[in-house]
């Protein structure tokens, strides 16, 4: 180990260099930093923590890095225990070679494997070096989880596209294994092989192909999906400390559906629920709070309700901008419904399908039906092709706001008439336009005249 790693200042400087990297460059920065401890030419990761890019490989030997497969890392992951560095041989890049593997997990929120290969020596590093590598990877895993859990909308959107890309890769793998099964038939029909030899060759081909396919399917599910109830209860553990020292009762309603949700949707749902709950708790007079998740078709609906005053002021950001942005990045919606003297309900809806940027060629058909400049979505309907349904889907408070809009009143006048803040009116108007599939207040008012209240 280089002497400078023994210096706290130098070690902190190296770690600081790693955590200063953006998510897409984190593995490369980690590999470069650890290169002074364990000389290697390729580094790869397989991470359940990061839905953005669960499998990555980098290195000065780009050819080796490019040949490391998801399946090879999956097999290595079964041999490496969290907190116990592995030094030995494994198949990476299509060949058996020396590997240093370390695994870490962040508070039950998923594990991450780091594999260093293309090593300059076959002798294992000293225990002190292995401990340092393990600690660095522990830190990177925690940091990756935080980046993912508090992802910017741009990261969230890219994550959905990455999930769709993984699905495409699975399709390609299925084709590849289809070719392998064709090889089985070829072996069985080969005139040069007797029955026993043909059966043996076919059996070997089939076992290898099916085992690899099962491993790939297992790892894709682990990396890109979360059980909805498990995701909810992870979020619940983050909510309980918020009320631990307050006289507030917390009621929780898990989805209880047995279904899965995309990992990035689960991250967004937990972060949004936590942030909204904290904002509601800042109000005076809150004694009870209810948090529930519902799986409704292809949508996850989240409701956070309190029994507070129900009169958020202009300077109370009940739905912070970062929550609205993250939900919008997944093409979801946010609805704020304060009722004076009864409390406030914040409802978030998150679609479970891929966003428009990751959809197949069939998606433009739905978008085209909405008309120029409009977007079709879970809560949106094109005028003339779903207007009544859109009107009937409005929340009662949204219907009251739409009635005021149809009278030509501006936000300030509506706020004064309904006894709510102007910012709340803006939230309602935005959701009304989205649900009706229109882009202007005038179009929304025209719908009310066409279809009636």
The mean of the pLDDT values for the chain is: 76
pLDDT of residue 148: 66
Q: Which of 350, 352, 141, 159 is nearest to 264 (CA)?
A: 159
Alpha-carbon distance 67 to 381, whole Å? 47
Could you tell me where the DSSP H helices lie in 87-243? Answer: 127-149, 153-189, 195-224, 228-243
Alpha-carbon distance 360 to 354, whole Å? 9
pLDDT in tens, 66-123: 888 877 888 888 889 899 999 999 999 889 999 999 999 865 556 789 999 999 888 8
pLDDT in tens, 193-230: 888 888 887 777 777 766 666 665 555 555 567 788 88
In Å, how far from its chain's centre is CA 266? 6
Residues found in the chain? 453
CA angle, 356 then 362 then 367, to 5°: 55
Is there a contact between 273 and 239 (Cβ–Cβ < 8 Å)? yes
Provide the b/e sequence for 363-395 (b: ≥16 CB within 10 Å).
beeeeeebbeebebbbbbbbbeebbeebbeebb
Q: Which of 119-123, 156-160, 373-377 has the lowest mean pLDDT?
A: 373-377
Alpha-carbon distance 96 to 102, whole Å? 18
pLDDT of residue 382: 35
Average pLDDT over residues 275-296: 88
| Residue 335 host element (H or E) | strand 333-339
Is there a contact between 64 and 102 (Cβ–Cβ < 8 Å)? no
pLDDT in tens, 398-443: 788 888 888 888 888 888 888 777 767 877 787 787 777 777 787 7
Percent residues over pLDDT 90 in the chain? 17
Average pLDDT over residues 166-188: 65
Provide the b/e sequence for 170-200 (b: ≥16 CB within 10 Å).
beebeeebeebeeebeebeeeeeeeeeebee
Average pLDDT over residues 344-363: 64
Q: Which of 431, 452, 453, 429 is nearest to 442 (CA)?
A: 429
Would the pLDDT of 8 be above 50?
Answer: yes
Q: Which of 280, 292, 272, 269 is nearest to 242 (CA)?
A: 280
Would the pLDDT of 10 be above 70?
Answer: yes
Q: Which of 351, 266, 334, 260 is nearest to 300 (CA)?
A: 351
Q: At what angle do helices 441-451 and 422-436 cross, to 10 degrees?
A: 60
Is there a contact between 250 and 286 (Cβ–Cβ < 8 Å)? no
Q: How many CA atoms lie within 13 A of 331 on its CB side?
A: 21
Percent residues over pLDDT 70 in the chain? 73
- Higher-scoring residue by pLDDT: 155, 86: 86
- Higher-scoring residue by pLDDT: 360, 52: 52
Q: How many CA atoms lie within 13 A of 370 on its CB side?
A: 21
Alpha-carbon distance 100 to 79, whole Å? 11
Is there a contact between 348 and 337 (Cβ–Cβ < 8 Å)? no
């Amino acid at each position: 180990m280089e002497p400078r790693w023994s210096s706290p200042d130098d070690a902190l400087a190296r770690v600081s260099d790693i955590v200063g990297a953006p998510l897409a460059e984190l593995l490369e920065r980690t590999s470069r930093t650890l290169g002074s401890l364990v000389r290697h030419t390729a580094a790869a990761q397989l991470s359940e923590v990061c839905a953005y890019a669960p499998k990555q490989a980098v290195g000065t030997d780009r050819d080796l890095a490019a040949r490391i497969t998801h399946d090879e890392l999956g097999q290595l992951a079964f041999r490496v225990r969290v907190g116990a560095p592995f030094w030995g041989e494994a198949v990476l890049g299509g060949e058996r070679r020396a590997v240093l593997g370390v695994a870490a997990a962040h508070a039950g929120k998923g594990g991450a494997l780091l594999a260093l290969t293309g090593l300059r020596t076959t002798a294992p590093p000293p225990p002190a070096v292995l401990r340092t590598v393990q600690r660095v990877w522990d830190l990177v895993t925690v940091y990756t989880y935080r980046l993912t859990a508090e992802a910017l909308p741009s990261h969230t959107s890219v994550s959905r596209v990455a999930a769709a890309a993984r699905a495409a890769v699975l399709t390609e793998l299925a084709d590849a294994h289809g070719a392998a099964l064709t090889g089985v038939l070829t072996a069985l029909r080969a005139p040069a092989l007797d029955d026993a030899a043909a059966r043996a060759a076919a059996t070997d081909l089939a076992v290898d192909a099916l085992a690899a396919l099962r491993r790939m399917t297992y790892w894709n599910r682990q990396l890109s999906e979360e059980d909805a109830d498990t995701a909810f209860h992870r979020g619940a553990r983050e909510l309980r400390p918020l009320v631990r020292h307050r006289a507030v009762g917390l009621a929780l309603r898990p989805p209880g559906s047995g279904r899965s949700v995309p990992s990035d949707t689960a991250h967004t749902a937990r972060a949004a629920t936590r942030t909204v709950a904290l904002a509601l708790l800042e109000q005076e007079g809150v004694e009870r709070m209810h948090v529930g998740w519902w799986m409704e078709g292809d949508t996850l609906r989240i409701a956070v309700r309190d029994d507070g005053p129900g009169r958020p002021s202009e300077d109370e950001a009940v739905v912070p901008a970062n929550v609205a942005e993250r939900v919008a990045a997944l093409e979801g919606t946010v609805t704020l419904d304060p009722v004076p003297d009864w409390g406030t309900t914040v409802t978030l809806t998150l679609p479970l399908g891929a966003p428009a940027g990751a959809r197949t060629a069939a998606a433009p058909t739905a978008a085209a039906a909405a008309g120029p400049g409009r977007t079709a979505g879970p809560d949106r309907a094109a005028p003339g092709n779903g207007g009544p349904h859109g009107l009937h889907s409005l929340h009662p408070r949204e219907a009251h706001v739409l009635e005021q809009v149809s009278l030509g009143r501006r936000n300030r006048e509506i706020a004064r008439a309904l006894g709510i803040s102007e910012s709340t009116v803006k939230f309602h108007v935005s959701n009304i336009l989205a649900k009706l599939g229109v882009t202007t207040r005038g179009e929304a008012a025209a719908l009310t005249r066409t279809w009636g209240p």
